[in-house]
C-alpha cells in the first residue's frame, strides 16, 4: 500500500463524514488517501507538498541563460558541465529565480553579466532543489482530497439512497445528499483549476 503525503488525514475525513473510523479500517483509508493524492498529481501535473530534503534532477543544456525546471520551493545548487567536462557550480549570486515573489519557482535565469550559460549538452545540467508546489498542501487541494476519499468510503459502505455515483480514476465515489455532490463538483473544479500546462 502507498503511504500518504499529507494532502488530507483521517481526522479531516472523519470530520467531513461526521462519524468515526474503526481502527481496522485505518490502513485502507490511508491507502485511499495516497491513491487520491496520486490521482490529483496526475490530473494537475503538480506535486503539492514539496520534498523536505533537496535532491538532484538532470536537464539537457540549451546553450541559453534561461532554463525551465519542474516546480520547486528552494534551489540549493546549480551545476553545469561544460563541453570539455569541466564542472561549474553557479552560486546564487549569479542567477535569479522566477516567478518573482511567488512560489513555486519554475525558471532559472543566469545574470546577464555572469559570463555563464546552460551549456548545450545532454543531461549536463544538475539542479539540486526541494521539488514541489508548496511547503504545505494548499487548503483547497486538501478539501478536494478529503471529499474524494469520503466519496470512496461512502461507495465502499454500499450507502443506501445515495444521490449520485461517479468514477474517479480507478475508484467510484458516492455522496448521500446534494450537499455532498456539490462538494464533489467543487472538488473537481479545484483540481481542474490547478492543472499545469506542460509544453
Identify the band that residue 199 occupies on the pLDDT scale cut at 50, 70 and 90. Answer: low
* Residue 163 pLDDT greater than 80, yes or no: no
Query: Domain locations in the chain?
Result: 10-48+136-193, 55-131
- Residue with the bigger pLDDT between 85 and 165: it is 85
Q: What is the pLDDT of residues 81-119, one digit of tens each?
A: 998 999 999 999 999 999 999 999 999 999 999 999 999
pLDDT of residue 48: 98
Residue 28's closest CA among 126, 179, 182, 171? 171
pLDDT value for 25: 80
Helix spans in 8-138 (H): 10-17, 26-44
CB 181 within 8 A of CB 163: yes
Pick from 12, 31, 6: which is nearest to 147 by CA?
12
* Cα separation, 174 vs 55, whole angstroms: 39
What are the pLDDT digits (tens) for 26-83?
889 999 999 999 999 999 999 999 999 999 999 999 999 999 999 999 999 999 999 8
pLDDT tens-digit profile of 112-144? 999 999 999 999 999 999 999 999 999 999 999
**So what's the pLDDT on residue 162?**
56
Measured CA to CA, the distance from residue 123 to residue 11 in angstroms comes to 44
Confidence of residue 169 (pLDDT cuts 50, 70, 90): confident
Q: pTM higher than 0.85, yes or no? A: yes
* CB contact at 8 A, 41 and 48: yes
Per-residue b/e over 37-49, b at no fewer than 16 CB within 10 Å? bebbbebbebbbb
- The CA distance from 83 to 63, in Å, is 11
The pLDDT of residue 22 is 75
C-alpha dihedral, 96 to 100 to 105 to 110, nearest 10°: -20
Cα angle: 61, vertex 114, 100; to 5 degrees: 80
Amino acid at each position: 500500500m502507498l503511504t500518504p503525503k499529507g494532502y488530507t488525514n483521517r481526522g479531516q475525513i472523519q470530520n467531513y463524514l461526521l462519524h468515526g473510523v474503526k481502527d481496522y479500517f485505518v490502513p485502507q483509508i490511508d491507502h485511499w488517501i495516497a491513491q487520491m493524492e496520486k490521482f490529483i498529481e496526475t490530473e494537475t501535473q503538480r506535486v503539492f507538498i514539496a520534498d523536505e530534503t533537496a535532491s538532484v534532477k538532470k536537464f539537457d543544456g540549451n546553450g541559453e541563460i534561461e532554463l525551465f525546471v519542474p516546480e520547486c520551493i528552494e534551489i540549493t545548487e546549480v551545476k553545469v558541465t561544460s563541453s570539455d567536462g569541466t564542472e561549474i557550480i553557479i552560486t546564487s549570486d549569479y542567477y535569479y529565480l522566477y516567478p518573482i515573489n511567488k512560489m513555486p519557482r519554475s525558471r532559472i535565469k543566469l545574470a546577464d553579466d555572469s559570463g555563464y550559460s546552460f551549456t548545450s549538452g545532454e543531461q549536463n545540467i544538475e539542479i539540486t532543489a526541494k521539488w514541489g508546489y508548496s511547503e504545505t498542501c494548499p487548503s483547497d487541494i486538501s478539501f478536494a482530497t478529503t471529499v474524494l476519499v469520503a466519496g470512496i468510503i461512502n461507495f465502499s459502505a454500499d450507502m443506501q439512497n445515495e444521490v449520485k455515483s461517479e468514477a474517479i480514476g480507478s475508484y467510484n465515489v458516492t455522496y448521500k445528499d446534494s450537499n455532498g455532490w456539490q462538494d464533489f463538483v467543487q472538488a473537481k473544479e479545484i483540481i481542474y483549476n490547478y492543472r499545469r500546462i506542460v509544453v
